């Protein structure tokens, strides 16, 4: 009799658990459906058209399966190699400068004790919409009316056309990206510094280690994974950057600031070669995965 009661109680618990899970599934269903519609469907559809001859300027041509022809034709374009180079250089420059500044500011805030007001001020650049941020910086870069050239003229430097020359345009984009997203690195590294145990630092201080030795042989190794996480997220963010570049230079002058995201936009919405644009987007995804795997392996983020 006791065995039957135990079985009945277990069946009741299982039924209640299943009923509870069903309710959760029902409540999650709208979110899952929306997620599938706005993310999974475009991803699958873009993969399909990357293997098709879809070109909006040639509506009379039948849409047919052409295999890897879109990928091959995109790779053969001179603009592809230039876009890859610009993307990697932009990521390397922006992430390197951002990490150096972020590490220095995080160490400073950790030593002096960052207050709430300072942290709120650091968040402000990240809360600004990238398009708005780029528009403000574009006005600041104006040769005559911009505050940057106005300040430089006060110290005897004039005539800098920030967005009209290849090198200065590239530097301008790096400055905007560093300004907006370095606080993200600061918060990650500051959180890492706060989480470090105090015992090793107290021990090496008793042994007479200098501040540089503590930083070089203790702080940096213990912050390695936090730095790796910051580099990983920032590298991905910079490599798919679009709005800031489009507002500031639209990939110009010439192809000086044309990244893979800008080139994908031009292929799809200026040249209307949707098949090649979809192929390029997946080539960009492959490059992102390769860079991410290199960073993950270098910093041993998951082991």
pLDDT of residue 202: 81
Helix (H, G, I), strand (E, B), or coil: what is residue 52?
strand
Domain residue ranges of the chain, discontinuous segments joined by +: 78-299
Contact criterion met (CB below 8 Å) for 295 and 225? no
Quick: pLDDT tens for 264-281. Answer: 999 999 988 999 999 999
Nearest-angstrom CA–CA distance, 70 and 63: 13
Closest CA to 54 of 281, 273, 222, 265: 273
Nearest-angstrom CA–CA distance, 24 and 230: 34
pLDDT of residue 247: 94
**pLDDT beyond 90 at 5:** no
- The residues facing 65 across adjacent strands are 52
pLDDT of residue 230: 94
**pLDDT beyond 80 at 23:** no
Nearest-angstrom CA–CA distance, 53 and 49: 8
Whether a cis peptide bond, with omega within 30° of 0, leads into 60 is no
Closest CA to 125 of 136, 116, 115: 136
Quick: pLDDT tens for 175-233. Answer: 999 999 999 999 999 999 999 888 888 888 888 888 888 888 888 989 999 999 999 99
**pLDDT beyond 70 at 246:** yes
pTM of the model: 0.86
Look at the block and give the residue holding tokens 């997220």: 233
As a whole number of Å, the end-to-end CA separation of the chain is: 52
Fold designation for 78-299: MetI-like fold (1.10.3720)
From residue 234, give the alpha-carbon distance in Å to each of 94, 194, 259. 8, 21, 16
């Amino acid at each position: 009799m006791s065995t039957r009661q135990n079985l009945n109680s277990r069946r009741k618990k299982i039924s209640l658990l299943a009923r509870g899970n069903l309710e959760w599934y029902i409540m999650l269903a709208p979110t899952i459906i929306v997620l599938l519609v706005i993310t999974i469907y475009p991803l699958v559809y873009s993969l399909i058209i990357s293997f098709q001859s879809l070109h909006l300027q040639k509506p009379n041509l039948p849409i047919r399966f052409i295999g890897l022809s879109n990928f091959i034709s995109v790779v053969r374009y001179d603009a592809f190699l230039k876009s890859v180079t610009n993307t990697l250089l932009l990521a390397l420059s922006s992430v390197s400068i951002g990490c150096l500044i972020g590490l220095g500011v995080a160490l400073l805030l950790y030593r002096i004790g960052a207050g709430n007001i300072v942290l709120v001020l650091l968040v402000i650049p990240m809360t600004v919409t990238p398009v708005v941020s780029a528009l403000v910086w574009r006005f600041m870069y104006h040769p005559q009316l911009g505050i940057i050239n106005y300040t430089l003229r006060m110290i005897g430097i004039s005539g800098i056309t920030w967005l009209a020359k290849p090198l200065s345009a590239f530097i301008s984009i790096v400055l905007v990206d560093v300004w907006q997203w370095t606080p993200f690195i600061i918060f990650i590294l500051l959180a890492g510094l706060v989480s470090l145990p105090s015992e090793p630092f107290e021990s090496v201080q008793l042994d007479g280690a200098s501040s540089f030795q503590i930083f070089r042989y203790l702080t940096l190794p213990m912050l390695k994974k936090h730095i790796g996480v910051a580099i990983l997220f920032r590298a991905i963010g910079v490599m798919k950057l679009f709005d800031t570049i489009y507002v500031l230079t639209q990939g110009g002058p010439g192809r000086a600031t044309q990244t893979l995201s800008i080139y994908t936009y031009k292929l799809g919405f200026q040249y209307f070669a949707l098949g090649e644009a979809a192929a390029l987007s997946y080539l960009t995804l492959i490059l992102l995965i390769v860079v991410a795997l290199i960073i993950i392996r270098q910093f041993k983020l998951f082991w």
